[in-house]
Structure 1
Amino acid sequence: MISPGWLLFIYCVLVVLASLAGGLLPLLVRLTHTRIQLATSLVAGLMLGIALLHFLPHGAEQLGSLHRTVAWVLGGFLAMFFLQRFFHFHHHDLPEGDPDDCCQHGEHDHGGQGHVHHEQTLAAKSAKQLTWVGTAVGLTLHSLLDGLALAAAVLAGACAEHEVTGLAGAGVALAVILHKPFDALAIGTLMTVGGHSRFSRHVLNGLFALATPIGAGLFLVGMSQFAENNPAFLGCALAFCAGAFLCIACSDLLPELQFHSHDTIKLSIALLLGIGVAILIGQFEHCHEAGHDHVHRHDPAQCADPGHRH
């Protein structure tokens, strides 16, 4: 069976490829508002299911305390909420206007008003620059948390030793892989509106794609350093990730209630489909767990060893 370290490496490679694909998505597929919203609802449903059906029960099992688990869930929710509040990076839609609109407006200026409109154009460009920078920083921090979630899920499966097919953390990996193209698309879209070249967008997307593997690596280092003296470290991380995933799902779903009165049936079906995928993955894991005569548990610090095998 694949060791946790190699499995995590494979997942990280897939996440990087998904992120790079997100930067190329506008060149490969004709994106529409409806298509993006349907995909967003599907992924949000999957992340909602992963948070409540995977992270939360595994975290509670590791911690052995419901109150402590809920406290870490709240911490994860608030951490992701404030990331979005201060960096304004949650943007899963097409740009509302042509990037050249401000320049076109400037060409129609007359008389002494030309200078004023020129200043507005510079101000607009500065605002767009700050927008994509804030988005890139926020999504990078978000991706580091994705890496933490991915590593925690893989190690949780490794410690439980019920993922006999070598697919520990498959549900979390699928959620991150499907969500990552939208993050890359958001950065690319805002950089396009800001007038940046295609080359600079691809370079930044390549750097952004590495954030999740870095987050996973940092978590492995943290596990190896702190898990021995703090056995609840993994459980805290799982509960924290449950809150973070819950916040991401809510950020995608709740605006639909107010701003997307159209396509309600399609969006609802996509949401339920995403939750259904999370349920199926959970059932798959439980079936394999039931196939064992007993479930072995390992020291979380031992599970953090990349070369550890069952």
Structure 2
Amino acid sequence: MTLAYIVAATGLGGLLSVLLAAQLTLGVLGRLVKSLVSLSAGVLLGTALLNVLPEAFEGGADPHSLFLALLGGLLFFFLLEKAELYRHGHHHEGDDPHHRHYHGFDAEQAGKGGWSVLLGDSIHNFCDGIIIAAAFLADTQLGIATALAVILHEIPQEVGDYIVLLNAGFSRRRALVYNAASGLAGVAGGVVGYLAVEPWKPLFPYLLVVAAGSFLYVAVADLLPQLQRRLSLRETVAQLGWLGSGLTVVLVATGTLSH
């Protein structure tokens, strides 16, 4: 039954993002991604700091070793992104007048480097799958909360990658098929995590800490910097509202799942 939960959770984010991208226009998707980035930042921070890390430290492992694992996890995801294997696509050409990239950047990234974008997305999804598997194997309630965080982050990530591919001249159908295929890497990661992690239950606190490191890295290194732009008062309030909504989702889910 646990494996069924893992497969469902790892496949849901990719499925929802593909369905969303297939139904909405490019302009609507671009506006939606901005809101989802704020929402997912709140969810990732809340899940890492209020759910995953407390669960890991309650497992009885040495706190110094757990902090060392957290540091190692942060550096690991930093190096993966340096190698362009842990990429995030939350923007698109012309999405902001203060965009830090030159015009044509996204088309160039998804043109000759399109396979790199898809490879990085697949590796990211595979890592997410292992994280979800470890969380479910530690505790079903923690698995649900972790899966929720991954799904809410994966939707803007996948939609952003879809927009980047469209900017490079990919057809809607081709971009959707490639995004769906990369989403299957999350399911593969979940299955591998279930088979490989289950015999090593004493390592669960360390795996959970690395999972929290992934969430924190994505939120702090990728999402929050995107929110640090000069905005009008109305846009700032909306941004903070979505961020707060993400934290609220985690708090409500935590309270609901604990009963």
What range describes the TM-score normalised by the shorter chain of this pair? Answer: 0.7 to 0.9
Tell me which residue corresponds to 1:91. 89
Tell me how far 1:125 sits from its aligned partner.
6.9
- What's 1:291 paired with? none
Q: Which residue of 1 aligns with 2:249?
A: 277
Match of 1:115 in 2: none
Superposition RMSD in Å: 2.6
1:238 aligns with one of 196, 208, 212: 208
> Amino acid of the residue matched to residue 213 of structure 1?
V
Kept after mapping to 1: 8 A contact 2:11/2:184: no
Among 75, 78, 91, the residue aligned to 2:75: 78
- Which residue does the alignment assign to 2:190? 216
Pairing 1:153–2:138 present = no
State the Cα distance separating 1:281 from its structure 2 match.
1.8
* CA distance 1:32–1:213, change in 2 (3 Å): closer
Aligned equivalents of 2:135, 2:107: Cα separation in 1: 41
Q: Which residue of 1 aligns with 2:218?
A: 248
Match of residue 98 from structure 2: none
Asked if residue 143 in structure 1 is aligned to residue 125 in structure 2, the reply is yes
SS at match of 1:210: helix
Q: Hey, what's the Cα distance between the residues in 1 that align with 2:154 and 2:161?
A: 11
Match of 1:171 among 126, 137, 145: 145
Match of 1:200 among 148, 155, 174: 174
SS in 2 for 1:155: helix
TM-score by length of 1: 0.71
2:50 aligned counterpart, secondary structure: helix
**Number of equivalences:** 247
Which amino acid in the other structure matches residue 4 of structure 1?
T
What corresponds to 2:45 in structure 1?
Answer: 48
Instruction: Report how far residue 29 of structure 1 moved.
Output: 7.8
Query: Cα gap change, 1:25/1:90 in structure 2, threshold over 3 Å: closer, same or farther?
Result: farther
In 2, Cα distance between equivalents of 1:260 and 1:91: 21
TM-score, normalising length from structure 2? Answer: 0.84
> What secondary structure does 2:231 align onto?
coil
Distance in 2 between residues matched to 1:278 and 1:256, nearest whole Å: 20
From 191, 214, 217, give the equivalent of 2:165: 191
3, 16, 19: which is aligned to 2:17? 19
Contact in 2 for aligned 1:73/1:244 (Cα 8 Å): no
Question: Identical aligned pairs, as a percentage?
Answer: 26
| Shift in alpha-carbon separation, 1:218–1:91, aligned structure 2, 3 A | same
Query: Secondary structure in 2 aligned to 1:93?
Result: coil
**Number of the residue aligned with 1:302:** none
Distance 1:90 1:125 in 2: 15
Instruction: Show CA shifts across 1:128-182 (max 9, x none).
Output: 4234322212121111111111111111114xxxx5xxxx522212122222222
Distance (Å, rounded) in 1 between the aligned partners of 2:248 and 2:110: 38
Runs of 5+ in structure 2 lacking a partner?
Answer: 96-103
